[in-house]
Amino acid sequence: MIVHVPPVLMYHQVDEKPQSTPIARVLTVTPSQFSSELDYLAAHHRRAVGVRDYLDALAAHRPTNDMVIVTFDDGYADQYTRAFRILRQHHDRATFFITTGNVGKINHLTWRDIGIMARAGMSFGGHSVEHIDLSQLTKAEQSQQIAGSLAALRAHLGTRPVVYAYPAGAFNRMTETLLAQQHVELGFTTDPQFEIGDLRRYEIPRIRVEGGMPLDAFGAALATPPARRYALRALPLQPPQRLQARQLTQPQP
Ligand SMILES: [Zn+2]
C-alpha cells in the first residue's frame, strides 16, 4: 500500500511573554502567531490534525491529502493553558509528545491536564522519560526511556500510544528496533538528513515552527516539506526495514 504522509509541524511553547534566551525565543510562538497559523491552514483548506487522526484515516481508507499534522514536544504547561484552548477554538487537533518524567513538575503539564486534552480528542506520544539523547544510551537505558514513557502514558490514558518523538531528534538503529518491539507505528525526528530520500517509518521529519516566523515563511515551509512529495509503503506495522518510497505521480495539495 502506498500512503501519503502529510507535512508535520513541530511546536514547543505558546506564550505571549518575551523569552529571555535565543533558544527560548526560537521555540516559543505567541498565541496570536499560533492562532494565525491555524487560520492560515483553514484558509488554505488544510485540516490541522494529530497523528492519531492521520492513522485512523489511513486505517479507514479516508483521504489524508488535506491534512497537516500538528505536534508539540516536551509537555509544557502552556500547551494546556494556551495551545489546547486555541486548538479547540479552531476545532483543530494535535499530538503532544510527553517527557513523562517531567509531568506534574513546575511549568509542565499535569496528568489531569493530559486527561482533559485526551478526552477532547488530542493524542499523545512518547518523548522519553528524562529527555535524554537516545543515541548516546545503551540498549537497556534506551529501552527504559522508551518503554517507560509509553507505559506511563498508557497507565494514565488507558490506551497504548503508538507514536514517538526523539528528544533533540536523535536516535539510532537500536531505537528503531526497540520502537518496533513496543508496537510503535511512527517515529518523528528533527534531523534534516531525513528530509531527503526514502522515508522510513521511524524517521519521519518535522517542520520546526519558530517564534516570530512570518506567515509567508510558514506557508513556504508547508509548501515544500519533502515528506509531502513521498509516499510511504508498508503500513500497518512491520518490523523495521527500509520502507520504499517513491515520488507521487499526482501532485498533492
Ligand atoms: Zn524535546
Digit-coded pLDDT (tens) for 173-210: 999 999 999 999 899 988 766 665 556 788 888 899 99
Rounded to 5 degrees, φ, ψ at 10 are -120, 120
Q: Ligand 1 centroid vs 49 CA: distance in angstroms?
A: 20
Residue 26: name the closest of 11, 46, 16 by CA. 11
Cα dihedral sign, 207-29-52-127: positive
Find the helix packing angle between 215-223 and 31-43, rounded to 10°. Answer: 50
Angle 182-206-98 (CA atoms, 0-180°, nearest 5)? 50
- Whether 248 shows a pLDDT value over 50: the answer reads no
Residues 6+ apart with CB under 8 A from 162: 52, 55, 125, 183, 184, 185, 186
Cis peptide preceding 7, ω within 30 of 0: no
Q: Ligand 1 centroid vs 248 CA: distance in angstroms?
A: 31
Q: Ligand 1 centroid vs 168 CA: distance in angstroms?
A: 6
Q: Ligand 1 centroid vs 212 CA: distance in angstroms?
A: 20
> Contact 243/186 with Cβ under 8 angstroms?
no
Residues 124 and 50: their CA atoms lie apart, in Å, by 9
> Contact 85/91 with Cβ under 8 angstroms?
no
Q: Ligand 1 centroid vs 13 CA: distance in angstroms?
A: 11
Q: Ligand 1 centroid vs 107 CA: distance in angstroms?
A: 14
Residue 29, strand partner residues: 14
The mean pLDDT of 54-73, rounded to a whole number, is 91
Mark the residues whose beta carbon lies below 5 A from ion ligand 1: 73-74, 167
Q: Which domains does the chain have, with CATH numbers?
A: 2-125+187-233 (3.20.20.370)
Task: Tell me the Cα Rg of the chain.
Answer: 17
Least confidently predicted of 51-55, 90-94, 199-203: 199-203
Q: Ligand 1 centroid vs 249 CA: distance in angstroms?
A: 35
Residues 155 and 118: their CA atoms lie apart, in Å, by 13
| Per-residue confidence (pLDDT) for residue 223, from 0 to 100 | 81
Residue whose grid cell is 499530538: 95
Q: Ligand 1 centroid vs 73 CA: distance in angstroms?
A: 5
Q: Ligand 1 centroid vs 219 CA: distance in angstroms?
A: 24
Q: Ligand 1 centroid vs 130 CA: distance in angstroms?
A: 10
CB atoms within 10 A of CB 95: 26
Q: Ligand 1 centroid vs 60 CA: distance in angstroms?
A: 31
Digit-coded pLDDT (tens) for 132-144: 999 999 999 999 9
Cis peptide preceding 226, ω within 30 of 0: no
Across the chain, mean pLDDT equals 86
Residues 245 and 174: their CA atoms lie apart, in Å, by 22
Report pTM.
0.88
Q: Ligand 1 centroid vs 167 CA: distance in angstroms?
A: 4
Q: Ligand 1 centroid vs 166 CA: distance in angstroms?
A: 7
Q: Ligand 1 centroid vs 61 CA: distance in angstroms?
A: 32
